[in-house]
């Protein structure tokens, strides 16, 4: 089941009736709340993410496998509930909800079948792994050198809201795709919808923080950021008002993959579009993608901390491995070209731009 943009669009003109106090109209801001829980929804319309005064959004207990990147546009959102869905990861753009000017106060993510980070498990490496993902003593006052972190060249100057603490923990290897969207290099992501899938198949190996990333051999002598002719054509088709009907209008001798790409273009347009997380250029068919695991934690005030006596408190001094792994939220990053991939040259700057869990020497 889906919602159309035409259904959501009228909510953009939502205006509250101002109260009259002593014969004078009082000015109040709109307070829009949308509850879509338990509606078997599989997709969301792009108009939903244009609602400037949307404060509460509940998508609990639906059938979403992926959320649109446009969800990061909801800067006035105070509450977001996306629990009890089929989400394997969240869009990287959701980090925009934690920016310095955001208003987000409450966030419900679990349960969802999120991909988990699979760290090395050899006995000789386990102690170091525990340090890297935050296990062990929490008394260290400065970051441990060499802790796992991500190479994020476009986040160096981003500032987070003081209500939230965000820490990048790990990432997968880069996945490279051809112009048709077929994987040509990189790890396979398990299909959690397949029959017989279990929690074992939820784990993805993390990349070595010191490894370099090289794209597959290209047809020419050098790589280019210029979009492919297919990408240009799909963008042109996206501007056609008959986009949804184009697959049925194709001649019989059309490439077999073209109908599916047009369907993808239509879905991308309906959901609000996609932008490269590196260069911010619009795209329909991603050429690269990878998953980063971020710890997203709310910084509690003293009154709240004093009232938390449960052993399940997230602020307890000791954590087990399962607690740490479940605290890391997988975010998917996609790019428009093979050149929009993180490189080793940025790795030396991460100690200054990213927060790292404190651990012992």
Inside any domain, residue 219? no
Q: Do both 141 and 231 map to the same domain?
A: yes
Residue 51 near residue 74 (C-beta atoms within 8 A): yes
CATH of the domain at 61: 3.80.10.10
Count of the separate structural domains present in the chain:
2
**Percent of the chain scored above 70 by pLDDT?**
70
80 and 38 part of one domain: yes
Give the model's pLDDT for residue 149. 46
Q: Which of 74, 89, 113 is the last residue of a domain?
A: 113
Beta strands 54-58; 79-81: pairing state: parallel
pLDDT greater than 70 at residue 143: no
| Residue 316 falls inside a structural domain | no
- Residues 6 or more apart whose Cβ sits within 8 Å of residue 261: 180, 181, 230, 234, 284, 285
pTM: 0.81
Mean pLDDT of the chain: 79
Question: pLDDT tens for residues 263-280?
Answer: 999 999 999 999 999 999
The whole-number pLDDT of residue 204 equals 92
Q: Are the C-beta atoms of residues 61 and 38 closer than 8 Å to each other?
A: yes
Exposure on the CB side of residue 230, measured as CA atoms within 13 A: 18
- CB contact at 8 A, 227 and 205: no
CA nearest to 250, candidates 235, 265, 240, 262? 262
Determine the structural domain holding residue 12 and report its residue range. Answer: 1-113
- pLDDT score for 350: 38
Least confident of 48-62, 153-167, 339-353: 339-353
Does 189 share its domain with 88? no
pLDDT recorded at residue 159: 84
147 shares its domain with 254: yes
CB 82, CB 108: distance < 8 Å: yes
pLDDT at position 73, please?
A: 95
């Amino acid at each position: 089941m889906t919602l159309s943009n035409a259904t959501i669009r009228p909510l953009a003109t939502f205006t509250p009736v101002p109260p009259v106090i002593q014969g004078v109209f009082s000015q109040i801001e709109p307070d829009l709340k949308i509850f879509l829980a338990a509606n078997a929804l599989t997709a969301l319309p792009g108009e939903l993410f244009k609602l400037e005064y949307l404060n509460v959004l509940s998508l609990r207990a639906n059938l979403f496998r992926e959320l649109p990147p446009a969800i990061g546009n909801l800067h006035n959102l105070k509450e977001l509930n996306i629990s009890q869905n089929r989400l394997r990861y969240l869009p990287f753009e959701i980090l925009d909800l934690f920016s310095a000017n955001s208003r987000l106060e409450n966030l419900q993510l679990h349960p969802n079948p999120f991909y988990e980070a699979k760290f090395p498990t050899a006995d000789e490496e386990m102690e170091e792994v525990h340090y890297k993902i935050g296990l062990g003593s929490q008394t260290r006052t400065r970051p441990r050198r060499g802790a796992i972190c991500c190479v994020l060249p476009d986040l160096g100057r981003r500032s987070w809201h003081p209500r939230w603490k965000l820490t990048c923990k790990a990432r997968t290897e880069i996945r490279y795709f051809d112009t048709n969207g077929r994987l040509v290099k990189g790890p396979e992501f398990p299909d959690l919808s397949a029959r017989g899938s279990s929690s074992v198949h939820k784990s993805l190996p993390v990349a070595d923080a010191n490894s370099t990333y090289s794209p597959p051999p290209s047809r020419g002598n050098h790589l280019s950021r210029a979009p492919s002719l297919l990408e240009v054509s799909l963008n042109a088709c996206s501007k056609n008002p008959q986009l949804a009907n184009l697959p049925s209008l194709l001649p019989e001798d059309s490439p077999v993959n073209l109908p599916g790409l047009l369907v993808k273009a239509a879905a991308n347009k309906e959901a609000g579009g996609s932008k490269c997380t590196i260069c911010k250029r619009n795209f329909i068919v991603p050429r690269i993608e990878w998953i980063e695991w971020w710890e997203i934690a709310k910084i509690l005030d003293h009154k709240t901390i004093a009232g938390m006596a449960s052993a399940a408190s997230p602020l307890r001094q000791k954590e087990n491995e399962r607690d740490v792994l479940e605290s890391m939220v997988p975010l998917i990053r996609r790019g428009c070209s093979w050149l929009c991939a993180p490189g080793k040259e940025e790795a030396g700057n991460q100690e200054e731009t990213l927060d790292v869990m404190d651990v012992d020497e």
